[in-house]
Amino acid sequence: MQFVEDLSSVDWASLTTGGFDSIVISEVDFLEAHLLQIKAMEEQIEKARDILSAEARQCCAHYHLAHKDSRNLETKEGRGFFGTRVRRVDGSLSMIWYRNRIVNTKQGPKTYSNHLKKGQGFRYPKSAFRGAKKWEMEIIEATEDRYALIRERWSYLTVILRELSKLRRSFEKQKDGLPDFSFLEEESSSDTETSVLEKPDDDVLRNEPIPDSV
């Protein structure tokens, strides 16, 4: 038997149906292969999170652009007061809404923002936007439809990362109790030496002529 030294050359799919009559993969290498795959999957999940973050930020930007473009409606139906913000902190992505209120002070009018409560689920209830103008509510609902999908998909990715973390810890715990298969390597080495020793010598097998007796 021969121990596999280069894991990058291993065709894992073929080994799901093939035998292990001629090769041996050490437990340490199996463990390393598992951990490498988990790392690769985690990196792919983070990329998927980056895409969702970018999508959320674009939705936020489009909302404010649409809000700005609707100023001509403000003169007819009244001013809009609702805004949105996207923030990514560590492993969380928040798409929040707030309501602006104008307060007259000695220094002049100032704008203050109050965050709205989302509650359970992936989207804000319509009641959170009580007082929104008709034109403003249409933009809010269109944006919140996209936000809700992003929140839902983010939650799925979070679950996957959590489970991958559990799987990685499971393999890391295995390091302390790996079985010793070194005897297979010794056996392979012994078989090789034996085959070399048993190989016939050409000089020994060469037939020499028997001299005629005098």
Per residue in 84-102, pLDDT (tens digit) is 999 999 889 999 999 988 7
Q: Is the model more confident about 127 or about 32?
A: 127
* Angstrom distances, CA of residue 197 to CA of 14, 22, 73, 192: 35, 21, 97, 9
Residue 2 is predicted with a pLDDT of 46
Q: What are the structure tokens assigned to 108, written together?
A: 């002049």
- pLDDT for 114-143, tens place per residue? 999 998 999 999 999 999 988 899 999 999
- pLDDT for 44-62, tens place per residue? 999 999 999 999 999 999 9
The strand ranges marked E within 48-141 are: 82-89, 92-105, 108-115
- pLDDT for 156-203, tens place per residue? 999 999 999 999 999 888 776 665 555 555 555 555 555 544 555 555
Residue 146 C-beta-side C-alpha neighbours within 13 Å = 19
Residue 214 is predicted with a pLDDT of 41
CATH number, span 39-171: 1.10.287
State percent of the chain over pLDDT 70.
Answer: 66
Q: Are the CB atoms for 101 and 117 separated by under 8 Å?
A: no
Residue 33 is predicted with a pLDDT of 86
**pLDDT at residue 204 tops 50:** no
